[in-house]
Amino acid sequence: MGYVTRRLVTFPLVLIGVSILVFVAIRLVPGDSITAMLGTEAGLLTPQQRVALTAYFGLDQNWLVQYWHWLLGLFRGDLGISVAYGKPVLDVIFDRFPLTLELAFLSMIIALAIGLPAGVFAATHNGRPSDLMVRIFAMVGQSTPSFVVGLLIIYMLSVGFGALPTMGEFSPFWKDPLRNLSQLIFPAITLGLAFAASVTRISRSAMLDVLSDDYVRTARSKGASARSVIWRHALPNALIPVVTLSGMEFGYLLGGAVLVEKIYALPGLGRVVLDAILQRDYALLQGSVLFIAFNFMVVNLLVDLAYSALDPRIRLGER
């Protein structure tokens, strides 16, 4: 319990660090949000208009003052107005987040459903041809870029079945589950396959380690069947690296998957960040990166809690 409290105390500190980093980094990039927002029409602005617009968005003040105002707003739950979307930053993020969250979940479920059994299978057939097959698939899956997999899926769907993945307006799961799944299942497979390949490799190597441990031999000496040895004695001990990897990948996915969102025309968080960078939308970028960092930290904390659920040595505080 003390451990979780300590972690929660460090949360705001890390977030402030992240916010300063983003705040400075985006301002070091050449270009300004007024030009980016208006495009070629920016050339039509009179100097007075430009000054007025800059003042309207608060961009004429020095960085320290800007940061201070932004921080104050943050404490009121106000992340500012997005220049690019013309909406409060928080609204933009919450519009997009459900899709990204769901996509990340589906990808992880697919990855674990394929990766864990494949890894365990490969480990228990170590050195045999079937193990080699699994390892080759995992290697290919891990090294193929997601946009290639995405394009291949679209190609196969359209040529093989004369169909396309459902596109158009995104419908949230709670409004139209079927349509929602039909929109997300192929993007989730696209992301999940590479994810599954990593899970396969790490669970295979973790299982191989564990299967040569003394307590596995003890379990066999007690007369436990091969199945019980693998699933009951070995796997729980091999899960820690799998959980670590899954947590990290899941955390990344919560930051959006730009390429896959683009291919399947999905309005996810990744596109928001990309737009914010291209448009020099300072408020939106700061807000969304902070949000992503926060999510990543929450996921990390959950991973740590999962460790202690998995392993009593961690649970009983002998850190």
Task: Indicate which single residue of 179, 220, 248, 294 sits in contact with another protein (rule: CB under 8 A).
Answer: 220
- Side-chain-side CA neighbours of 179 within 13 Å: the count stands at 9
Give 1-21 as a DSSP string. Answer: -HHHHHHHHHHHHHHHHHHHH
Applying CB under 8 A, the span of 35-43, 80-88, 94-102, 207-215 interacting with another protein comes to: 207-215
Q: At 209, which amino acid appears? A: D
CB of 306 to another protein, least distance (A): 13
Q: State the nearest-atom distance from the C-beta of 125 to another protein, in Å.
A: 14
Shortest Cβ 10–another protein spacing (Å): 11
Q: Which of 151, 178, 236, 298 binds another protein (CB under 8 A)?
A: 236
Which residue carries 């301002």 as its tokens? 27
With binding defined as CB under 8 A, does residue 9 bind another protein?
yes
**Joined tokens for residue 196:** 């599954």
Under the binding rule (CB under 8 A), the answer on residue 128 touching another protein is no
The backbone torsions φ and ψ at residue 83, rounded to the nearest 5 degrees and listed phi first, read -70, -40
The answer to whether 73 and 79 have CB atoms below 8 angstroms apart is yes
Measured distance CA(286)–CA(276) in Å, rounded: 9
Interface stretch with another protein, choices 67-75, 81-89, 154-162, 220-228 (CB under 8 A): 220-228
Handedness of CA 87, 88, 89, 90 (dihedral sign): negative
Minimum distance from residue 14 beta carbon to another protein (Å): 17
DSSP state string for 205-263:
HHHHHHHTSHHHHHHHHTT--HHHIIIIIIHHHHHHHHHHHHHHHHHHHHT--HHHHHH
* By CB under 8 A, residue 310 contacts another protein: yes
Please tell me the count of residues contacting another protein according to CB under 8 A. Answer: 26
Q: Which residue has the tokens 């007075």?
A: 48
* 182 vs 228 by CB, closer to another protein: 228
Tell me the window of 47-55, 109-117, 231-239, 295-303 that interacts with another protein (CB under 8 A).
231-239
Residue 223 binds another protein (CB under 8 A):
yes
**Quick one: which of 205, 237, 244, 300 contacts another protein (CB under 8 A)?**
237
- Residues that bind another protein in the complex, under the rule CB under 8 A: 2, 5-6, 9, 213-215, 217-226, 233, 236-237, 310-313, 316, 318
